[in-house]
Structure 1
Amino acid sequence: MAVEHGMWKIGERPKALAPAKLDTEELLEEQIFQDVSILNCNWLLIGRQVYTDFGKYIDLLAIDAFGSVIVIELKKHKTPRDVVAQTIDYASWVEALPTERISQIYHKFAISYGLEITNFDDAFQVKFGVKPSEDEVNSSHQMVIVAAELDASTERIINYLNSKAGIAVNAVFFTVFQDGKSQYLSRAWMIDPVETEDKAVSDSSKGEWNGEFYASFGVAHDSRSWQDAQRCGFISAGGGRWYSKTLFKLAPGDRVWVNIPKTGYVGVAKVVGTALVADEFIQDDMQLVGSYGTEAEHGEDNAEYFVPVEWLYAVAENEAVNEVGLFGNQNSVAQPKTSKWDYTVERLKEVWAVS
């Protein structure tokens, strides 16, 4: 059940803002189109009013760094049965789309709305830091129903589909508050969106996992440092639960191949411990070059998390292996099931003479 929204203006005495009625759900669609981070800052919008092969229009389409395509459907006064059934119907159509069709949908969308980047590959790389993998694009999908309010019947249907059928469907509620001439938009997810993302990724499979883990180690000026990671034996991620949560997939004994986006593969390591928050991992004698957010400073969700590793082979950034055909994406840790990942591991074993 969604949490009831409330908003207060801070002053000498808190003043409750009055809920206001959203003029139209088309206005809500326009707000999401202007800034999809209203739903999720880790999504790239790729289509609006997408015409399907059976003569219906999908309100909005987005994609995340996993390549998972998100069908976003506004309730627009539909009955509970209609909105859920229609969203599932759209998802069944999206599921069968080849990569080139996804690219065409984005291109048409970009041209129609005057976007600066009209090529799907380029837009994906700008958003996520890597080019899209043909094996991963649309390898899974999610469904999100957007509503100003949702009745109990629709909530029961969505909960049933998640818990019993294992379908990655969610709902997000919006409430508008009035303060003089200003209006404010508030949102609440029905189900933790991270759970929906995990369900979509775990349900997607285009092959067998080879047992080798992939890690993306993002470096940035005055923050995360590959030099630190090499010297102190760790991989890390942070700045939001979306980035750090996959580190917890790793367990002692696992082997992980580490890629720096836009740079290349820089090492392979054996995991020797479980993920720890910065406050527990960092020791005074480490003399770290980078700066890492602690739980005390940034909170549990936004802190940096570390996985201790023993490097089996590691190179400097200027010696990174960056070849055409190697796997890459923005997941802090992943278990890829594509043939490209099998090739990547075998190629790195050959280059680094790792058995």
Structure 2
Amino acid sequence: MALELGLWRVDQEPVRLQAVPMALESRLETMIESDPSLLGVDVLLIGRQVPTAYGKYIDLLAIDSEGVLHVLELKRDKTPRDVVAQLLDYGSWVQTLGQQDVRDLFADKNPGTAFDTAFAEKFGEAPPDLVNASHVLTVVASALDTSTERIVAYLNTVHGVPINAVFFRFFEDDGRSYLARTWLIDDAIQQATPKPRSTSGGTLAEWDGRTWYATFGQAPGGRSWEDGRRYGFISAGGGKYYSQLLRNIPVGARVFVFVPGQPRGYVAVGTAIAEAVPADDAVLTVDGVPTRFLDLDLQGDYTHPPAEDPADETREFVVAMEWEVARPLAEGVWKTGFFAVPLTACRLRNQFTIDEVSAAFGVDD
């Protein structure tokens, strides 16, 4: 039996409202474009009528906070089975899209708006490194026939194809219009269904093999960025989790340094000239003179109490840096969409951040 969506006005007794016969799909695309929250799924719209490589056009293409692409196809005047076949065809193309392909599609549909900025404004964080590891296919319609509903449910729940259908119906009552929405497959079922990973091999942002991200965390009575800027180092400690990430930075790595908190921002770009070593053993070259780290005139404190677990490593570790540019914290650089994660260090793949920070610092990216 085909899914039926009903709406009742409840006064002294329930009165069922009648759906309004109208060309619903002709308006839905515009409505969803202006307010994607109508879907009940939090997404950033990439574009409307997005061209594929096969000369056809996806009605609406969007991305969610996890980097999953959402393909939405409106039924319009297509037969129910035709719209499902069309959607599967689009899915076969979408799964080939890599990181840069998605960015290019967004740029084409949103000239003058940076993808990273729009993503951060929508979700409050930079885009994930892995984009389009999976995708979701959605039929948008006022109704489908029973056979098509069975096909969609069969593909999703039995074969794990990430396809679903969302139904919208218009109702009128006493001069007012209402829009109602329901999904064919319950969200809990859909989320439990495994989604295929992209086989394009290009969904992970490319890494140049050299550029790293590092945080220089500050705290009252703890480390001070002014020390790092003055003497040429980054450091981390207080637990093996923090120091181990810093110790992954190889000699020769180009490091973009971020200071979290308020104010926050990127404050330096430089090259690691030595491996991370415990602060007790670190030696930095200051004004041409090799000097023990702990003998420096430091504003911050780089000691930590020993861990209760002997296997943990609480010592502060130091990486000697040669700065290309190092600014006071008050002159740090920050824009919506910049990459910033609570990790001591990791590979930096976010080209938007690299380009913008490099331009602000006047260094070669």
TM-score bracket for this pair, using the shorter chain length: 0.5 to 0.7
What is the SS of the residue equivalent to 1:31?
helix
79 and 313 in structure 1: CA distance in 2 versus 1, 3 angstrom threshold = farther
What is the SS of the residue equivalent to 2:193?
helix
What is the SS of the residue equivalent to 1:167?
coil
Q: Distance in 1 between matches of 2:33 and 2:188?
A: 22
Normalising by the residue count of structure 2, what TM-score does the alignment of the two structures yield?
0.53
Q: 1:2 touches 1:190 (CA, 8 Å); kept in 2?
A: no
121 and 57 in structure 1: CA distance in 2 versus 1, 3 angstrom threshold = same
Structure 1 residue 108: Cα displacement? 2.1
What is the SS of the residue equivalent to 1:66?
coil
- Asked if 1:103 corresponds to 2:103, the answer is yes
- Asked if 1:126 corresponds to 2:121, the answer is yes
In the TM superposition, what are the counterparts of 1:296-311 in structure 2 within 5 Å? none
Q: Distance in 2 between matches of 1:193 and 1:33?
A: 22
In the TM superposition, what are the counterparts of 1:240-319 in structure 2 within 5 Å? none
User: What residue is the counterpart of 1:162 in the other structure?
Assistant: 156
Q: Choose from 171, 180, 190 the match for 2:174.
A: 180
What is the SS of the residue equivalent to 1:85?
helix
Q: Distance in 1 between matches of 2:17 and 2:75?
A: 25
What is the SS of the residue equivalent to 2:172?
strand
Q: 1:171 touches 1:190 (CA, 8 Å); kept in 2?
A: yes
195 and 68 in structure 1: CA distance in 2 versus 1, 3 angstrom threshold = farther
Q: Distance in 2 between matches of 1:200 and 1:71?
A: 17
User: What residue is the counterpart of 2:138 in the other structure?
Assistant: 144
Q: 1:263 touches 1:322 (CA, 8 Å); kept in 2?
A: no
What is the SS of the residue equivalent to 1:20?
coil
In the TM superposition, what are the counterparts of 1:27-176 in structure 2 within 5 Å? 27-111=27-111, 118-134=113-129, 136-176=130-170
Letter in 2 for 1:127: K
Q: 2:62 touches 2:71 (CA, 8 Å); kept in 1?
A: yes
Query: Unpaired runs of 5+ in structure 2?
Result: 202-240, 242-258, 262-311, 315-341, 351-365
Q: Distance in 2 between matches of 1:83 and 1:194?
A: 24
195 and 109 in structure 1: CA distance in 2 versus 1, 3 angstrom threshold = farther
Normalising by the residue count of structure 1, what TM-score does the alignment of the two structures yield?
0.55
Question: After alignment, is 30-39 or 12-21 more displaced?
Answer: 12-21
159 and 41 in structure 1: CA distance in 2 versus 1, 3 angstrom threshold = closer
Say which one has the larger Rg. Answer: 2
Letter in 1 for 2:100: E
In the TM superposition, what are the counterparts of 1:308-347 in structure 2 within 5 Å? 321=343, 323=345, 325=347
Q: Distance in 1 between matches of 2:349 and 2:3?
A: 41
Q: 2:96 touches 2:198 (CA, 8 Å); kept in 1?
A: no
Q: 2:44 touches 2:64 (CA, 8 Å); kept in 1?
A: yes
Structure 1 residue 143: Cα displacement? 0.2
What is the SS of the residue equivalent to 1:19?
coil
Q: Distance in 2 between matches of 1:24 and 1:15?
A: 23
Q: Distance in 1 between matches of 2:86 and 2:135?
A: 15
User: What residue is the counterpart of 2:235 in the other structure?
Assistant: none
What is the SS of the residue equivalent to 2:78?
coil
198 and 22 in structure 1: CA distance in 2 versus 1, 3 angstrom threshold = farther
Q: 2:3 touches 2:143 (CA, 8 Å); kept in 1?
A: no
Q: Distance in 2 between matches of 1:120 and 1:38?
A: 22
85 and 202 in structure 1: CA distance in 2 versus 1, 3 angstrom threshold = closer
- Percent identical across equivalent pairs? 44
Q: Distance in 1 between matches of 2:15 and 2:344?
A: 57
Q: 2:2 touches 2:145 (CA, 8 Å); kept in 1?
A: no
Letter in 2 for 1:54: Y
Structure 1 residue 172: Cα displacement? 0.8
Q: Distance in 2 between matches of 1:153 and 1:8?
A: 27
263 and 143 in structure 1: CA distance in 2 versus 1, 3 angstrom threshold = farther
Q: 1:2 touches 1:189 (CA, 8 Å); kept in 2?
A: no
Q: Distance in 2 between matches of 1:195 and 1:2?
A: 19
35 and 169 in structure 1: CA distance in 2 versus 1, 3 angstrom threshold = same
Deviations for 1:151-206, whole angstroms, at most 9, x for unmatched residues? 01111111121133211100011111012332111011000234334535575687
Structure 1 residue 12: Cα displacement? 4.4
User: What residue is the counterpart of 1:232 in the other structure?
Assistant: none
Deviations for 1:83-116, whole angstroms, at most 9, x for unmatched residues? 11110100111111121121121122223xxxxx
Query: Unpaired runs of 5+ in structure 1?
Result: 112-116, 207-254, 256-261, 265-311, 315-319, 329-355
